Structure 1
């Protein structure tokens, strides 16, 4: 049955069976140049769940942008039921400059739920919470590792939500990681008002990785299929599916010395106590420090930086 429910987003009436490209416009650059954030909305002919696909909340985390771009380009975001809202470059200011932060130096993902009388990042967060978030039921918030840290594909969820665990298993990333919600993050703010957010981590900043992109795209199709938004049976039949590994806790191993870092392990690998992670050495051939795994676990994150300082995080080790 064709939907008759009225939906209005950013002042535009969203009709069943239609696609809209709207602009979220809240600020200008210091040159008075208008900066608009494209919001792509596709509504099915039948009512159903509303899914937000959100990327680029940190402007230099490009792999999430690529995942949403591919979903749009392949027209996977056209639902038969419900509605898909895509914001590929939420922090378009950072995206333009290939930087993590907003122009005011704030981390947008530490600025929610925001305030109309706060900093630029806070104003933007408040606009997002007032104009977009009320319409969504579910969200996949795409991220990458910061700096040169490469994250294996993982869905991060809070420990106290059976529904989120079910959805994370449906998405079927390599890992499901129990992670507390950061203060003033988008995930925390959305969850506090009853929205279900899956935080996808994969890859590293300023980088594309085809394996991570494929995981993100495939996971989104699985999620939409599970929610009854569109039948992806043919696409799903071609995908390899293996059980997601649930990480109950994790630790970061840090460099005891600064120097040149060469790693010998692959992200996602199961490693045993005593296995060699890599070597830190000086540039002059005077010393080499071997880094070994302290206990059995999975490598869920790995520093790809060739130069590290004492105290730098070099490997994220997760435990079932």
Structure 2
């Protein structure tokens, strides 16, 4: 059932409208569990829209399996999606830095408030993001260390490539996930792919993982084949950030989602004018290359890659 959850008039006879598609059993009670699938908070991230399509398609085809409430929110920043803008158009603000929002604040904060208000009360929420146009990300769940004990077991049901447990300092209180976890809705943040693109394999695997999670918590009762990949938690691992020390054009040697060794060459930053290599990018550890630069032009300080350290391998060095 399509429902409008927020609407406001804009200039030039336009309307900003947030909508959800609700799937629910006929006999809803107070014990009926509810999950919200949220995406499109950043307008240049559309990987999640494909997941929403696949999930809605499955639920349409299997109505008898639905035992809980599934709310699908494919476009929480519709103006950003329409204009291919990461932030909230005209306000030059990141919508995911305005939560929990307020009805008396500027428009982006009103939208944030409406999102929180409509998702509030869900038992679970999945906040699906892609990377920006500069980086390609391996599918991952990002969790605050403070919430790890409660959320890691849920994230493992997604069968996603790995789980990145952040220190609390890296989790901003103004994000959707922090607002919802504070309100008691167990919220997982999924990051995958690259901005302005859809990676079909990632979307298909995440959809299967979502169905597996929903079957596990009793929202659907149709058995789902468990995802094949195993989650790897970073509770005992370190994530290494590799940044450029020179400006130029980054030419990768390796794709992401590969194991690398300490000292292995990841790529080069070249100078097209001089015909020289400005910098050779070397892995600082053994581990999994899960982020790689997608947009080639880099400047000093640009993020080139992230590597999830293999603690077993590093211990043996």
TM exceeds 0.5?
yes
What SS does structure 2 have at the residue aligned with 1:116?
coil
Whether 2:148 is the aligned partner of 1:166: answer: no
Alpha-carbon separation, structure 1, partners of 2:221 and 2:274: 59
1:207-236: CA deviation from partner (whole Å, max 9, x where unpaired): 011221122111111111111111342x41
Q: 1:163 to 1:183 in 2, by over 3 A?
A: closer
Alpha-carbon separation, structure 1, partners of 2:244 and 2:158: 34
1:83-128: CA deviation from partner (whole Å, max 9, x where unpaired): 0000001111101101111122211111011111112111111122
Task: Choose from 72, 84, 87 the match for 1:98.
Answer: 84
Aligned to 2:315: none
List runs of 5+ in structure 1 lacking aligned partners.
1-19
Q: What's the offset of the Cα at 1:75?
A: 2.5
Taking structure 1 as the reference length, the TM-score comes to: 0.88
Taking structure 2 as the reference length, the TM-score comes to: 0.89
User: Is contact 1:153–1:215 with CA below 8 Å preserved after alignment?
Assistant: no
Whether 2:57 is the aligned partner of 1:70: answer: no
Aligned to 1:129: 116
What SS does structure 1 have at the residue aligned with 2:68?
strand
How do 1:30-45 residues align onto structure 2 when only pairs under 5 Å count? 30-45=11-26
Q: What's the offset of the Cα at 1:178?
A: 0.4
Task: Choose from 14, 21, 25 the match for 2:2.
Answer: 21
Aligned to 2:275: 286
Q: What's the offset of the Cα at 1:32?
A: 2.7
Alpha-carbon separation, structure 1, partners of 2:288 and 2:266: 12
Moved over 3 A (4+): 76-79
Q: What's the offset of the Cα at 1:240?
A: 5.1
Q: Over aligned residues, Cα RMSD in angstroms?
A: 1.7
Alpha-carbon separation, structure 2, partners of 1:133 and 1:89: 14
Aligned to 1:6: none
Aligned to 2:143: 157
Q: What's the offset of the Cα at 1:285?
A: 4.8
Alpha-carbon separation, structure 2, partners of 1:89 and 1:113: 18
User: Is contact 1:45–1:80 with CA below 8 Å preserved after alignment?
Assistant: no
List runs of 5+ in structure 2 lacking aligned partners.
312-317
**Count of aligned residue pairs for this structure pair:** 297
Aligned to 2:96: 109
Alpha-carbon separation, structure 1, partners of 2:11 and 2:234: 45
Whether 2:245 is the aligned partner of 1:256: answer: yes
What SS does structure 2 have at the residue aligned with 1:247?
coil
